[in-house]
Structure 1
Amino acid sequence: MTRRIILALWMAGLIRAQSSTPLKVTPSSLSFAYTLGDAKLPAAQTLSVSGPAGGTATVTASGGLWLTVTPASGALPVSAKVSVNPTTLVAGVHSGTVTVAVAGLDPVVVAVSLVIKSPPSTLAASPNPVAVTYVRGDANPSPVTLSLTSSGGLLAYSVAVAGAAWLAAAPKSGAIFPAFPSTVTLTVNPAGLAPGAYKGTVTVSAPQAANKSVTVTVNLTVNPGIPTLASLWPSRITQGAGPVTISLSGGNYFTGTVVKAGTTALTASYLGPNAMTAVLPANLLAAPGDLSITAENPGAGGGTSQARTFSVLSSSPSIGAVVNAASYLAGPVAPGTMVTLFGTALGPDALATFSPPSGGGTIATTLAGARVLFGSTPAPVIYASASQTAAMVPYGVAGQTSVAVKAEYNGVQSPAVTVNLAQSSPAVFTASGNGTGQAVAFNYDEATGAFSLNSESNAAPKGGIVVLYATGEGVTSPASADGQIATQASPAPIPTATVHIGGADSEVLYAGAVPGLVTGIIQVNVRVPQTPPAGKAVPVLLFINGVQSQAGVTIATR
């Protein structure tokens, strides 16, 4: 009897020892990272599961179809592969879980995060290369305007000229605001140069840009008459169009200049030494492809210009995402918000930006053949390209909870996507262009009236004034007009704007329209409070009508 009791107790202890073996899952959390547009998906990660011998584990993923795990079950120990597919997901943090369960034991939940970032801003300079032809004895060539653009946030830049004493560029530094190109004027003084080919470079450097710098090659040809072809307008059309008249801009044209598409001479009209038009016949536009356009001055001393590409397109527009242009986050947007559309065939291959009307006026709702429709209302278009277009949400959508958005290019519309609406959706522009990090901010010197870019090396003093830029304020009072270029500060600045710097309430001196920019982009002048600790990355939050701007935006204070 005693032996039987001892054996029973020993077996019970063994069972308890077996069942007390814990369920162990490593690692305890998983994190994946992805940048929009990257062709390579994040690598799969492995969960190691151990527990009672002979036990069976089930492994399940939740949070979205973008998260998968395999195998779904197996005898312990188990190695489970966790994979993510960010395709079609928008920028931001996406969360999910992987749950591991074994009968009789508490399940283990592993948190999974997928951080999707927007690509950094890219610096672009146009035209590039620049070709200048000089005929000896003529007046000096006209200055060339170099257009500097940023694909996202504000970029501070500097300009350096090398390899040519005859080439100059001004200004030497500046800033490029999103959707508002900066210009650098290139001047050529060929005095004393013998006939021949000359080359100089203009390097535009922007440390915050993804590509850091752009080198523009300037080619000067001193001879009696080779024409230049700087640009075409338009530069693309949908296949099947009838005859299309294109405008050629360049130099050294005359009445005998011949315009060609490949080897086909076109019917051309001479407008002046720097401009011509030519007609592309329907047969050249029947199939998709690229046409090489040149201008040729026949005869002695003449020659053929550099080629420009005219594209015949066949694809229809498609919208992949609609995000706030400042935060680069998807979500509800307010009337007047600047938004960015990502997709395909949204506009021309080369970035097109609007030309601000002189003395105010409104921004057009069509740019280089591109339009954005909110319901049936066309939106003012800030810039347009094949993969990315920015527009201002029409104020007329106020009162609705959502709106159907379509992109249109050369009369062909995309399928609609639904965008939710809100009274306000504030977001602060950042120097990185992805909605996080250093804000687009300027320090204001009350003594001198000078502005300087806020940065780690140029922090704002406590008690000093910092100027921020944002969008998403919503409907204003008095009402703002769609696409209106502000000519003065708002007569009635937004009354409900508040700012927290380092978590402390800050005195808002002004919050309203920015003279020279489109209504819907606002300027917020705020005084840095005395209480929060100074630092290189002090958090900044903007509140409008109680709605908070995106987290992760900072300024430097001292």
Structure 2
Amino acid sequence: MKFAADGKTLIYSTLLGGRGNEQGVRLAGAGDGSVFAVGNTTSLDYPTKNAYQPTIGGSFDGIFFRLTDNSVPQLPAFTINPNQLTFRFVQGESAPAAQAVTASAAGGLVASAVEPWLRVTPALSVSVVPAGLAPGVYRGTIRLTPPNGVPGTIVVTLNVLAAAPVLSAVEPSRVAIGADDTEITLRGAGFTNRTTVQLQTIPWLLSPVRFVDSTTLKLTLPKPYFSAEYNHSITVQNPDSAISQPVSLAVGRPAPAIAAKGILSAASYAGDVISPGEILTLFGENFEPGMRVNFDGLLATPLYITPNQLSVVAPPALAGYRGVNVTVETNFERRSTPVRIPVWPARPGLFTADSSGKGPAAALNQDGTINSPFNPATKGEIVVLYGTGGGVENLPNKVFIDGMECEVLYAGQVPGLIA
């Protein structure tokens, strides 16, 4: 028997055999619609045509034949466009929108849906009602029957998918170029021990996906995946479910990092605390031009920057803060781990002659020459000292030399300098 594409309309049927017994017949369909068969027979009158051996030659003879249909199939007298429709439904979401079909028949067509989940209007608007259907692939038929002649059919496929698992984050979210094999952690909800991972929509098969619990998956990406700057798109999927929203794993230059106890006064190199308006030096790694320093949302541009050191003025708006989180970042894409540091109203520090934070002060004598052991100031002479960390709240300033308080003639910003 041969049926039409709708699986219901019979095109032809036949019975082939003789008066004996036919056994072990196996059938195989060919691309041109013909059928090949193989088996054995005891029939003396087995029908043949153009046979290699036209009559039986033993008790059991093998049979091998090809059956072709030379009949002219009856086709509808009208055209249908399109004659195949596909719908996709994810459980928990709205039913898919209806799809329109056109037929060339002038009128009189009666449209009917064969399956209970299919709907069709007289205007040939086809819709599906997937509520209550389990995940899977469903196939149905819309029959268009004219007043006279052969009916036409529309084949409908409905893909019902379970709700996608939720993929919310990948840890780490950024890996340095040239990194070795790296274990990544996927965070979300709805994971199972059969959840699969896709990288750039391609199923991940290069390493095992380890199911930790319904919120956590782990897998290892080999070193070649970190050979160049790139953004890997990662998705997950449960059996018979939709695919999750993607998360991105960035491969790029390493994130900056602030060293432990690496936020210091640029003058004295004293640490552990900062003050508003103070010139600071930060030590760390992976610093580069274009980065900025973030003080809990107050941004500051470095005065200078090298791969392991930068200098910045603490925002004056920190006045009144008791502490602040400091990060070094670039356009919010790469940022260091925040470092929490206390904020004091003032934390004075003097610059030194060799910029080490120790030894002779960076000072000018009254005649404008550089103060040094070889060019000391004389008693009663005015000396200019340079420092930072005096605060922004007009706090009283006192200067002591060898424990003796000196008269302060001026305390404030140096004209033309940063702070």
**TM class, shorter-length:** 0.3 to 0.5
- Between Structure 1 and Structure 2, the one with more strand by share is 1
Q: Name which one, 1 or 2, has greater alpha-carbon Rg.
A: 2
TM-score (norm 2): 0.39
TM-score (norm 1): 0.30
